[in-house]
Structure 1
Amino acid sequence: MKIWGVTGWKNAGKTGLVERLVVEFTRRGLTVATIKHAHAGFDIDHPGTDSARHRAAGAREVLISSGRRWAIMHELGEDEAEPTLDDLLSRLSPADLVLVEGFKTADHPKIEAHRAATGHPLIAPGNPTIRAIAADSALDTGPCPRLDLDDTAGIADFIARELGL
């Protein structure tokens, strides 16, 4: 599996870019998986559902399955560390490309999404894993190529070249 990341500060356009890249790469015939880093305390379950009741009762893992999809929720114990990106990648089914949102400090290659309106500085100068910057405005990106944040096909072309897809 080839792995590419999209990183950036909050409201920089990461999720929208990942969503558009999934559409673009699947249109090109690739199978795509995604991993999204979330803040602690996120939940995909709803109070009162059977699966939430199983978790509340103390189940370490709950697998929900239907004719359309399945999901596993794994509860981290008090002594259990957050899984690394490599741990999470090992749990995915094979895909041509895994797009990773977040995980700023992990070792995979990334594009930094940057919107001028956020007022945040670039992450790239201190992070050698950032290979390009997708921005909505002109800015000094140093040695990193600057790509237009709205040019999904151009960004996909860059990733495809870098990964040999």
Structure 2
Amino acid sequence: MQAVLGICGYSGSGKTTLLEALLPLLTRRGLRVSVIKHSHHDVQLDSPGKDSFRHRQAGASEVMIVSPHRVGVFAETARELTLDEQLARLSPCDLVLLEGQKSLAVPKLEVYRPALGKPARYLDDRDVIAVASDAPLAAAIPVLDLNDADGVAHFIAAWLADRR
């Protein structure tokens, strides 16, 4: 089973920016990393008028688009997929990073900016294994510098190695 690490934090805390910095650093370490991004909104991944959109509108439960460089699958679901169902749709990899889905019982790295004025999750969520912040914090778990992506990548790689 792939290792799963949630990247959680409030909107505007820098989750996506951190992920953008971490992904090349983790892949340079030889890790194959996938990301599952959660949205609370009904997202449209293809465009009206495109063949894939028209096929879905006509009743296809899944439409796969294949090119020489990538593949995409658009699927209609009756309900939100469980984490196991989401993971089953991914190709094998070393690590799956979840952006969002903060209520799942998986190990998490919290991105926390005190200046946002929101409460920290790490104080109450036992699944938060570390917090990346732009301010000094007193915590019973590792506190990482949010502006040091290499340090965060090192923490994640060490955590992953410990799991193996």
Q: TM-score, normalised by structure 2?
A: 0.91
Mapping of residues 47-126 of structure 1, within 5 Å: 47-76=48-77, 80-126=78-124
Who is 2:148 aligned against?
A: 151
Q: Is the 8 A contact 2:9 2:112 kept in 1?
A: yes
Who is 1:35 aligned against?
A: 36
C-alpha separation between the residues in 2 aligned to 1:40 and 1:161?
34
Q: Deviations over 1:12-43 (max 9, x none)?
A: 11111112111111111111111111122112
- Identical aligned residues as a percent: 45
Who is 2:24 aligned against?
A: 23
Q: TM-score, normalised by structure 1?
A: 0.91
Q: Deviations over 1:94-140 (max 9, x none)?
A: 11111111111112211100123322110112211101110111234
- Which runs of 5 or more structure 1 residues have no equivalent in the other structure? none
RMSD, aligned CA = 1.4
Who is 1:160 aligned against?
A: 157
Q: Is the 8 A contact 2:27 2:33 kept in 1?
A: yes
Q: Is the 8 A contact 2:129 2:141 kept in 1?
A: yes
- Which runs of 5 or more structure 2 residues have no equivalent in the other structure? none
C-alpha separation between the residues in 2 aligned to 1:22 and 1:53?
34
C-alpha separation between the residues in 2 aligned to 1:50 and 1:81?
24
C-alpha separation between the residues in 2 aligned to 1:144 and 1:46?
44
More divergent stretch after superposition (108-117 vs 86-95) = 108-117
Structure 1 segments, 4+ long, off by >6 Å, are none
C-alpha separation between the residues in 1 aligned to 2:158 and 2:27?
16
Who is 1:138 aligned against?
A: 136
More divergent stretch after superposition (116-125 vs 66-75) = 116-125
